[in-house]
Amino acid sequence: DVKVTQSSRYLVKRTGEKVFLECVQDMDHENMFWYRQDPGLGLRLIYFSYDVKMKEKGDIPEGYSVSREKKERFSLILESASTNQTSMYLCASSLWAGQGALSPLHFGNGTRLTVT
Amino acid sequence: QQQVKQSPQSLIVQKGGIPIINCAYENTAFDYFPWYQQFPGKGPALLIAIRPDVSEKKEGRFTISFNKSAKQFSLHIMDSQPGDSATYFCAAKNAGNNRKLIWGLGTSLAVNP
């Protein structure tokens, strides 16, 4: 069974702090994703990575960066946390299924970040 | 711009009822339509998915109906149970980009005992 583990379930940070959210998957998946989930706004893609050291911007990358130094680990970085980044952050991974295909996304259980 | 429009936002049914969640899209390049189920405190998980060459797909009590000409697809839950209470997301994949999903905004379903 695929396991996607997010390092923290709850996190409280102060405005202006640099915040690291960590995600590890144990199934050798090529693709990894960071989403944020807010009531009424669904799932919004922040960044994704399809290989080590590779990354692509999602729909809302502003204020975020990512790092993927190892295949199993994908980190989301808030360079200077702001109150509007208070949200639920979800990490996901998926296998590269070849051109024209998309294998299921496997999500972690989320990190609820509060920025005060 | 919302490329996949999901409705209703929330839904309450009695046990045994058949909740129906609808999604509509405009982009004819979409070629894969999954539904994800999310329980409170958990991440979403794939429930069922369909490709546009099929009009219906069933997995247990869950059925996707797909209407290619209307560019709509829907999730039906037969004989719904309180344990089906969750948030349901529809999504779509563009044939030209097989790494990324376009998501609906979600439907919060409550099944009363």
DSSP 8-class letter at A104: P
pLDDT tens, B58-93? Answer: 999 999 999 999 999 999 999 999 999 999 999 998
Residue B1 has pLDDT above 60, yes or no: no
pLDDT of residue A101: 64
- Residue of B103, B105, B107, B108 to mutate for A, most A C-beta atoms under 10 A: B103
- Chains A and B form CB pairs within 8 A to the count of 54
Q: Name residue A80's amino acid.
A: S
pLDDT of residue A97: 66
Beta strands A106-107 and B56-59 are unpaired
Rounded Cα distance, B107 and B37, in Å: 10
Residues of A whose CB is below 8 A from B39: none
Grade residue B98 by pLDDT with cuts at 50, 70 and 90.
low
pLDDT tens, A68-108? Answer: 999 999 999 999 999 999 999 999 999 876 665 678 899 99
Do the beta carbons of residue A72 and residue A93 sit within 8 Å? no
The DSSP bridge partners found for residue A86 are none
What is the residue-averaged pLDDT of chain B?
A: 93
pLDDT of residue B20: 98
Q: What's the whole-number mean pLDDT along residues A5-33? A: 95
Sheet holding A4-6, edge to edge: A4-6, A19-25, A73-78, A64-70
| C-beta atoms of B44 and A43 within 8 A | yes
Burial tier of A94 (Cβ tally within 10 Å: 0-12, 13-18, 19+): buried
| C-beta atoms of B95 and A100 within 8 A | yes
Secondary structure, 3-state, chain B: CCCEEEECCEEEEECCCCCEEEEEECCCCEEEEEEEEECCCCCCEEEEEECCCCCEEEECCEEEEEECCCCEEEEEECCCCHHHCEEEEEEEEECCEEEEEEECCCEEEEEEC
pLDDT tens, B33-53? Answer: 999 999 999 999 999 999 989
**What percentage of chain B carries pLDDT values higher than 90?**
81
